[in-house]
Amino acid sequence: MPPPDRGEGVLAAVIFIPFTDGELSMLLDTLQSIDRFVTEPHHVIAVDDCSTGRLDEELRRARPDVTVLRNERRHGGRSGLYVTMANACKYALDHFDFRMFMKMDTDALMVGRGLVADAIRYFDEHPRAGILGSYRVRADGQRRRWLKWKLAFWYEGHPLRALLGRTRLWRDPIRKARSMAYDVGENVLGGAYFIRGECVRAMRREGLLDYNFEAILRESRIGDEIIFSLMCKASGYDIHDFGAPEHSMALALTSLPLPKEEILRLGKTVIHSVKRGLHGESQDELRAYFRGQGADPAG
């Protein structure tokens, strides 16, 4: 679909969701959760990572209200998602006026109202915050650590890589980020997070949305959320917690961080990952459970 006219006003959020083979039904369900619980002006950009079944065409037919883009070649996950998401950020900047850019995976769900408004309010109250997400503490109180990614940045930026004919990555962004007291490898969980619109624009000005794409696709194994957390700091903004127990984001890496009943009782608004529940529930069971719970905002 053609993007909305800028004259229609400022969007609260542009929501980016990447997808590929085997994920269309997940994506459609996640889109329905956004329809149900995000009442602020928003627009969704879904990017097909070169699916073999041309799922982009199916999605355009099913959801003409969504902007559907397609990678010309498969980027894959981890660092490939940085490239896909960076291109989506640039598309959003070229076509929309927006307050925030939100990334959601296909195994994330909106399950309550108010998240977008809360994030805008937080950004307004904390002008140096660039990224909001599950940062130092998860929704279950578990502290997050990033030694693995500290080592990954060290390995991918080591001077000896040049002797092996490989690219020495990340030196310039890390140098810039250190002025913001960057702890190498610090990051938000990747299932769902927000980036302030001004931070996205600053990343583009600094060339951080065009950083060494070919070498990253060829040689890096660092995930999009780790890279965007670095680029946030390198652009002059901070990373803030928005997924601790006192917040409404409830995120973990490969399963829900809390029992499904607790998620609703505590008034959580976005969850990840619905691939597995804490009591062994399947993704289909979890999606059906949350689809059938809670009051419809339109009601």
List pLDDT tens digits, range 246-282: 999 999 999 999 999 999 999 999 999 999 999 999 9
Q: How much is the pLDDT for 164?
A: 87
Q: Which domain holds residue 73?
A: 6-291
CA–CA dist 43, 13 (Å, integer): 7
CA–CA dist 149, 171 (Å, integer): 15
Q: Is residue 1 part of a domain?
A: no
Residue 15 has pLDDT above 50, yes or no: yes
How much of the chain, in percent, has pLDDT values that exceed 90? 91
Q: Is residue 140 part of a domain?
A: yes
Q: Is residue 297 part of a domain?
A: no
List pLDDT tens digits, range 202-250: 999 999 999 999 999 999 999 999 999 999 999 999 999 999 999 999 9
CA–CA dist 3, 66 (Å, integer): 9
Q: Is residue 298 part of a domain?
A: no
Q: In what order do the strands lie in the sheet with 98-104?
A: 67-70, 42-48, 11-19, 98-104, 192-196, 129-133, 238-241
Q: Is residue 296 part of a domain?
A: no
Cβ(273)–Cβ(281) below 8 Å: no
Q: How many domains does the chain have?
A: 1
Q: How much is the pLDDT for 268?
A: 98
Q: Is residue 252 part of a domain?
A: yes
Q: How much is the pLDDT for 7?
A: 52
User: CATH number, domain at 18?
Assistant: 3.90.550.10
Three-state DSSP class for residue 137: strand
Q: Is residue 193 part of a domain?
A: yes
List pLDDT tens digits, range 61-77: 999 999 999 999 999 88
Q: How much is the pLDDT for 290?
A: 97
Average pLDDT, the chain: 94
